[in-house]
Amino acid sequence: MRAGTVTDGTRTVVAFHDGDRWFPAEPQPRSFIDVLGADARAGEPLANGHRPAVPFRPARNIMCLGKNFRAHAVEFAAYRSETEAVPESPIVFTKAPEALCGAEDPIEVRRDVASSLDYEVELGVVIGCDGSRIGADAALDHVAGYTVVNDVTARDAQERHRQWFLGKSLPRATPIGPVVVTPDELGDLDRLAITCHVNGELRQSAVLGDMIFGVAETIEIVSALVPLRRGDIISMGTPSGVGIGFTPPRFLADGDTVVCAIEGIGELRNVVRIVP
């Protein structure tokens, strides 16, 4: 099942995605997660002109993993002149729900905070049921679906404030979607390609099997300390090839088009808008 939230500018509905068409869920669910895995019915296809909005906004902070691909950990450490590149335990930080924007929305950022804007394509894991101290063997039972996240980052703020929350939470600058796909539809995650293009140029490319900490292991480690709640999102960290990894860095600029994709899920296609 592939479900998202779409809008035509006046009305926003939860809808299933099939082929290139959207079919509204009937009846509309009280919360987005309700349609995943349920025997929800689909109505007549929506008219053209609907575009994906944020599938749902988590009630709590979004959890994100830092440096969860080996090659990215090395490139990031090189930038910071660190000796220890690959983490022994997941680095976990949070992102504000207000940071999310839709799969085709502009990434609109004020000029005064946009001098080192960077892209990070990531797998988003949507938690479907509560749990604490979840064992790795049961962890995937807690996953409602998967989506694509572009963990857009203000690198200077990330560096300046030491803790990553501020630099990772610019309002409406973290694209997510276009759909949440249930696990049964994706099968083995490890073989799925994850890519990011900027203005058509391939910058990030890996398979999900390259992640240092996989989904089940991450759920076990996180839930040993903090209970996971239905509707939480864990963004699994990014492959190498981010802007800060280049010499000199190649940050995002006004008018750039960023396309983040995961095979079997879909793509985020967002234009960067630097505003006064």
Q: Which stretch binds Mg ion (CB under 5 A): 31-39, 144-152, 157-165, 226-234?
A: 144-152
Residue nearest to Mg ion (CB): 151
Cβ 242 to Mg ion shortest distance, Å: 8
Using the minimum distance from each CB to Mg ion, give the nearer residue, 50 or 120.
120
Kindly tell me which residue out of 169, 204, 238, 270 binds Mg ion, with binding defined by CB under 5 A.
Answer: 238
Cβ 133 to Mg ion shortest distance, Å: 26
Name the residue with tokens 């239905």.
230
Using the minimum distance from each CB to Mg ion, give the nearer residue, 23 or 164.
164
151 in contact with Mg ion (CB under 5 A): yes
Using the minimum distance from each CB to Mg ion, give the nearer residue, 56 or 119.
119
CB atoms within 10 A of CB 64: 28
Cβ 149 to Mg ion shortest distance, Å: 8
Using the minimum distance from each CB to Mg ion, give the nearer residue, 2 or 168.
168
Binding letters toward Mg ion, positions 91-120, x by CB under 5 A: -----------------------------x
Cβ 267 to Mg ion shortest distance, Å: 18
Give DSSP secondary structure letters for the chain.
-EEEEEE-SS-EEEEEEETTEEEEEESPPSSGGGGTTS--EE-SPPPTT-EE--S---SSPEEEEES-BHHHHHHHHHHHT-S--S-SS-EEEEE-GGGEE-TTS-EEEEGGG-TTEE--EEEEEEE-S-BSS--HHHHGGGEEEEEEEE--EEHHHHHHTSSSTTTT--TT-EEEEEEEE-HHHH--GGG-EEEEEETTEEEEEEEGGGBSS-HHHHHHHHHTTS-B-TT-EEE----S--GGGSSS-----TT-EEEEEETTTEEEEEEEEEE-
Cβ 79 to Mg ion shortest distance, Å: 14
Using the minimum distance from each CB to Mg ion, give the nearer residue, 120 or 232.
120
Please work out the total of residues on this chain that contact Mg ion, with binding judged by CB under 5 A. 3
Cβ 98 to Mg ion shortest distance, Å: 17
Name the residues that contact Mg ion, by CB under 5 A: 120, 151, 238
